[in-house]
Structure 1
Amino acid sequence: MSLPQYNVNEIVTILKGTNIPTVLVEGKDDISVLRLIEKRVTYSLKEISFFPCGGKETLFNVYKRKNEFPLKKVVFLADRDMNLFEDRT
């Protein structure tokens, strides 16, 4: 079953209402990678909510509105997609 897709306004509303530390990521694949990393470290990430934004553009647009939830513990995590690298050979 796939996760629901939220728009920027919905994500901002969710963040305003939570007290759980949250890591916003681009998509669900990013969450899978973070959970694999968790298995290799000595501390648990279980007290942290990982929230897929459905893409880099949505993630960046939520970031632009971070002043709307200033006291919340939120981390924004974006990776560098391979299509951004130029072939320099």
Structure 2
Amino acid sequence: MLGQITDHRPDPSAEDCDAVFEPSVHDDPHVGGVWSYEAVTSHADYFHVTAVYETTRAAAIRQAETAWPFPVNIYLYAKGSAPLG
């Protein structure tokens, strides 16, 4: 589920990129009952940060929308320039 996209690429129209994913439930825990921070962080698919190198903007969005049942932020970087670790 896509939370936000932050684009750090010098050319936002370029399709090729590196993508870093971070859960965004801590940004917007939906106190109204839709999302629970405790439930999401204990979910089997929960992670802190993960990256996909040499991908495309469309593939990164598709991964965010389908790979996790909780919202994630995507940080896009020019191909080969995503921070490591």
- Larger strand share, 1 or 2: 2
- Larger helix share, 1 or 2: 1
Name the TM-score, length of structure 2 as normaliser.
0.28
Answer 1 or 2: higher relative contact order, Cα 8 Å, separation at least 6.
Answer: 2
